[in-house]
């Protein structure tokens, strides 16, 4: 029995083929490739990447990575599959052949680059222990020279009286007359004698003043939240695009354990790439996760649609 073949066309161009393999199982192959199919379909509809970004809430840099098949630049396989599905649906394409082609590409064995390279990419580090020891000895020598210079500069070659004066000890000199032997009634030239007295240390007595009595302040009570306040606890890796009152306040990937707080006056719009990976609390009301793991979800919170606490 001949194998059944179903060709997939878009705008008159062949983009995919369904066929049966040797075991009779249905397989699919894209003729043009994922990136070419998405780009040519978008251009045929006269759409730009920014137009698709506004339609799908997927950042244009990720859309461009899909069209160029730079899958390693995407946050992960879960996000890549969600991006392909939503991009294809926005263009009116069946996403299944694209997803099967993506799985086929990701499961293909990668070439071992280490077998191709004959030389290491980076030069090997040379373990030179002798140079390290030399540098350590030179550093110690410099420290010793600086200490020796400081000692001789401040203490070496200084008389005891000068050294004591530097330390705050006053030096007084007095003359004591002495008689020369064999001569009576005559005094020799008095020789000075040094004695040292400690300069009195003046200690300032702090003035004791009575400390003012503490004033008891009333306990603050929590005030009502003005506008919309969302606290997001990240349970699994995900990406989020948040718009508050028409202005983008966050656009990026979050990892498990992160926490973010977003506030707006009247409306907050969220696009979440992994609905099961983030738990929300809106105006102190726990909302929890918004969907299944890997599910892409868009939602808006306004002053009229705020959740109410359970009775």
106: its two tokens = 């990701």
pTM beyond 0.85: the answer is no
Q: CA 82 to CA 292: how far, in whole Å?
A: 13
Give the residue, 305 or 14, on which the prediction is more confident. 305
20: its two tokens = 């049966």
pLDDT at 299 over 90: no
Could you tell me the pLDDT band of residue 296, with boundaries at 50, 70 and 90? confident
Could you tell me the pLDDT band of residue 27, with boundaries at 50, 70 and 90? very low
Chain segment 191-228, per-residue pLDDT in tens: 555 544 444 454 555 554 554 454 444 544 555 788 99
Give the residue, 286 or 188, on which the prediction is more confident. 286
Other beta carbons within 10 angstroms of residue 45's beta carbon come to: 13
pLDDT score recorded for residue 65: 92
Q: What is the mean pLDDT of residues 283-291?
A: 91
Q: CA 13 to CA 32: how far, in whole Å?
A: 9
Cβ atoms of 309 and 291 closer than 8 Å:
no
pLDDT score recorded for residue 16: 55
% of the chain residues with pLDDT over 90 = 42
Q: What integer best gives the mean pLDDT of the chain?
A: 75
Cβ atoms of 9 and 30 closer than 8 Å:
no
Q: What is the mean pLDDT of residues 8-27?
A: 49
Q: CA 245 to CA 219: how far, in whole Å?
A: 34
Q: For residue 272, which of 287, 250, 257 has the smallest C-alpha distance?
A: 250
Domain ranges for the chain, please list them. Answer: 6-106, 228-302
The dihedral of CA 40, 42, 48, 50: what is its sign? negative
Q: What is the mean pLDDT of residues 260-264?
A: 93
CATH architecture of 6-106: Orthogonal Bundle (1.10)
Three-class secondary structure of residue 133 per DSSP: helix
Other beta carbons within 10 angstroms of residue 230's beta carbon come to: 19
Chain segment 103-155, per-residue pLDDT in tens: 988 886 544 444 434 444 444 455 678 888 999 999 999 998 888 777 777 76
pLDDT score recorded for residue 3: 41
Give the residue, 169 or 42, on which the prediction is more confident. 42
pLDDT at 242 over 60: yes
Three-class secondary structure of residue 239 per DSSP: strand
Give strand pairing partners of 289.
279
24: its two tokens = 């009779």
Number of continuous H segments (helices) and E segments (strands) in the chain: 8, 13
Cβ atoms of 171 and 194 closer than 8 Å:
yes
Question: What length does the chain have?
Answer: 311
pLDDT score recorded for residue 54: 95
Could you tell me the pLDDT band of residue 163, with boundaries at 50, 70 and 90? low
Q: CA 11 to CA 110: how far, in whole Å?
A: 34
Q: CA 98 to CA 40: how far, in whole Å?
A: 14
Chain segment 47-88, per-residue pLDDT in tens: 999 999 999 999 999 999 999 999 999 998 899 999 999 999
% of the chain residues with pLDDT over 70 = 61
Give the residue, 291 or 11, on which the prediction is more confident. 291
- b/e burial code for range 284-302 (CB count within 10 A of at least 16 → b): eeebebbeeebbbbeeebe
């Amino acid at each position: 029995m001949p194998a059944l073949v179903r060709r997939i066309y878009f705008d008159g161009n062949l983009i995919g083929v369904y066929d049966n393999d040797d075991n009779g199982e249905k397989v699919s192959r894209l003729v043009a490739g994922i990136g070419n199919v998405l780009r040519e379909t978008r251009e045929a509809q006269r759409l730009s990447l920014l137009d698709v970004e506004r339609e799908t809430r997927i950042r244009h840099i990720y859309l461009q990575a899909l069209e160029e098949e730079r899958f390693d630049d995407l946050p992960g396989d879960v996000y890549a599959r969600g991006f392909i599905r939503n991009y294809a649906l926005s263009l009116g394409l069946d996403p299944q052949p694209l997803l099967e082609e993506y799985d086929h590409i990701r499961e293909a064995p990668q070439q071992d680059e280490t077998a191709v390279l004959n030389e290491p990419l980076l030069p090997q580090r040379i373990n030179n222990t002798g140079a390290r020891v030399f540098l350590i000895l030179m550093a110690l020598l410099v420290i010793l020279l600086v200490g020796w210079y400081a000692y001789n500069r401040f203490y070496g070659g200084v008389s005891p009286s000068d050294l004591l004066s530097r330390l705050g000890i006053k030096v007084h000199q007095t003359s004591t007359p002495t008689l020369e032997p064999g001569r009576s009634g005559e005094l020799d030239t008095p020789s000075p004698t040094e004695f040292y007295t400690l300069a009195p240390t003046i200690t300032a007595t702090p003035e004791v003043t009575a400390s003012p009595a503490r004033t008891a302040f009333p306990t603050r009570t929590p005030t009502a939240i003005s506008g919309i306040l969302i606290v997001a606890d990240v349970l699994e890796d995900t990406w989020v695009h948040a718009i508050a009152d028409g202005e983008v306040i966050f656009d990026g990937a979050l990892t498990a354990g992160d926490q973010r707080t977003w506030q707006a006056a009247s409306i907050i719009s969220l696009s979440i790439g992994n609905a099961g990976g983030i738990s929300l609390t809106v105006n102190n009301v726990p909302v929890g996760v918004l969907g299944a793991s890997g599910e892409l979800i868009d939602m808006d919170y306004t002053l009229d649609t705020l959740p109410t606490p359970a009775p």
